[in-house]
Amino acid sequence: MARTYTRVHRLLKLLSLIQSRRDLTAAKLADLCGATPRTIYRDLKMLEGAGIPYWFDSETGGYRVRGDFFMPPVELTLEESLAAICLAEQVGAREQVPFLDAAARAVAKIRSQLPAAIRDRLEEVSPHYEIRLAAAASPEGIADVYQLVRKAIATRRALQCAYETPRRRRSGPAKRFLFMPYCLYFSQRAWYAVGRHGGRAAPRCLKLNRFVEIHPTDIPYAIPEDFSMSAYLGKAWRMIRGDRVYRIELHFDADFAETIADTHWHDTQDIEWHDDDSITFRCEVAGLDEIVWWILSMGPHCTVRHPKELARRVGELARETAAIYRRPARKTSA
């Protein structure tokens, strides 16, 4: 009985996903449904046997259901309604994540269709929920970039771009290149586009506010079926994935131990408590460029025990920082 229950719900979820998005390949559907691509292909066969008119759209790179196919409207519980409205109205409408204000308009339509009893309960409860995210980079000046990248992903047409970083700015005008975006990605307070940069084999992650030129082209491209942000980021500490995976071991004193242990910092983290209320924090990270700054933000409460290379980098940067404050203060004119 449990197996049938699981399959029925997976089939309903599969159909709902195909109806709501146009870019879902078998691999992406498998990831979203917690199954394997082979299982998804079997499920698609079952949908076909049930007379559900789906097909694979080569232009969007995903499965679709014929437009005249109808499913009854979804009935949301109070908890589901509250979650959707909090995310849409507080995160979207307040632009805590830029360009998601349309979510608030969408949820207003959903709210109007909810049963009266659910709407009344939402009026009572929703004012007492508050979501505040870290302030994001201003969307001013990048709305056109965001829309062009979004359209490029939808139509699978490459972009002609120029991209500028502080280092590139010092070395002369930015060079133009073809960019084939795979994903729009919001992280660390800003929007990024991840995709293939010109003739480079590996995908690149480019910050939207650093594009100085961006134009649509008619050059088609395909998003690899096995691409996902999880696979792209791998074991990166945040966003920058290095070539080598390091086994990290840090010691946090009792003052910071509980704060560190209470937070999910990385998917691979492991915490070991000690009798003096300090902890050992272990994880595996691809690259050291990001975690070194996180460690420095903990000041004297964190000690790097492994690897030696990380301990050396933290020590050097800490000494350079301390040296700044040992220098005599410059006199300023009145």
Q: Each residue of 239-291: pLDDT tens digit?
A: 989 999 999 999 999 999 999 999 999 999 999 999 999 999 999 999 999 99
Q: What is the pLDDT of residue 5?
A: 44
Domain total in the chain: 4
Q: What is the pLDDT of residue 167?
A: 65
Dist CA 226 CA 28 (whole Å): 8
Indicate if the pLDDT at residue 70 is higher than 90. Answer: no
Indicate if the pLDDT at residue 234 is higher than 90. Answer: yes
On whether both 252 and 226 belong to a single domain, the answer is no
Whether the Cβ atoms of residue 272 and residue 280 lie closer than 8 Å to each other? yes
Residue 275 forms part of a structural domain = yes
CB count within 10 Å of CB 71 equals 11
On whether both 165 and 114 belong to a single domain, the answer is no
Q: What is the pLDDT of residue 146?
A: 95
Domain C-terminal end among 26, 44, 65: 65
What does the mean pLDDT of the chain come to?
Answer: 88
Residue 72 forms part of a structural domain = no
Whether the Cβ atoms of residue 283 and residue 269 lie closer than 8 Å to each other? yes
The alpha helices in 24-115, defined as continuous H runs, are 26-33, 37-49, 78-85, 101-113
On whether both 47 and 107 belong to a single domain, the answer is no
CB count within 10 Å of CB 161 equals 25
Q: Across-strand partners of 286?
A: 245
The confidence band for 330, taking pLDDT boundaries of 50, 70 and 90, is low
On whether both 249 and 223 belong to a single domain, the answer is no
Q: What is the pLDDT of residue 3?
A: 43
CB count within 10 Å of CB 85 equals 22
Q: What is the pLDDT of residue 163?
A: 92
Residue 57 forms part of a structural domain = yes
Q: Side-chain half-sphere of 110: how many Cα atoms within 13 Å?
A: 23
- Whose tokens are 């308009």? That residue is 105
Residues 6+ apart with CB under 8 A from 201: none
What's at 150, amino acid-wise?
Answer: R
Residue 71 forms part of a structural domain = no
Residue 70 forms part of a structural domain = no
Sheet holding 270-273, edge to edge: 270-273, 279-286, 245-252, 302-306
Tokens, residue 234: 């791998």
Residue 158 has phi, psi (to 5 degrees) of -70, 160
Dist CA 14 CA 28 (whole Å): 11
On whether both 223 and 284 belong to a single domain, the answer is no
Dist CA 304 CA 312 (whole Å): 9
Whether the Cβ atoms of residue 269 and residue 242 lie closer than 8 Å to each other? no
CATH of the domain at 303: 3.30.70
On whether both 38 and 110 belong to a single domain, the answer is no
Range of the domain at 45: 2-65
- Whose tokens are 């965001």? That residue is 146
On whether both 227 and 251 belong to a single domain, the answer is no
pTM of the model: 0.73
CATH of the domain at 10: 1.10.10.10
> In degrees, to the nearest 5, what angle opens at C-alpha 178 toward C-alphas 176 and 184?
110
The alpha helices in 191-328, defined as continuous H runs, are 229-233, 254-261, 291-297, 308-326
Residue 136 forms part of a structural domain = no
On whether both 221 and 263 belong to a single domain, the answer is no
State percent of the chain over pLDDT 90: 47
Residue 332 forms part of a structural domain = no
- What pLDDT, in 10s, does the model give residues 142-176? 999 999 999 999 999 999 999 987 765 566 677 89
Residue 134 forms part of a structural domain = no
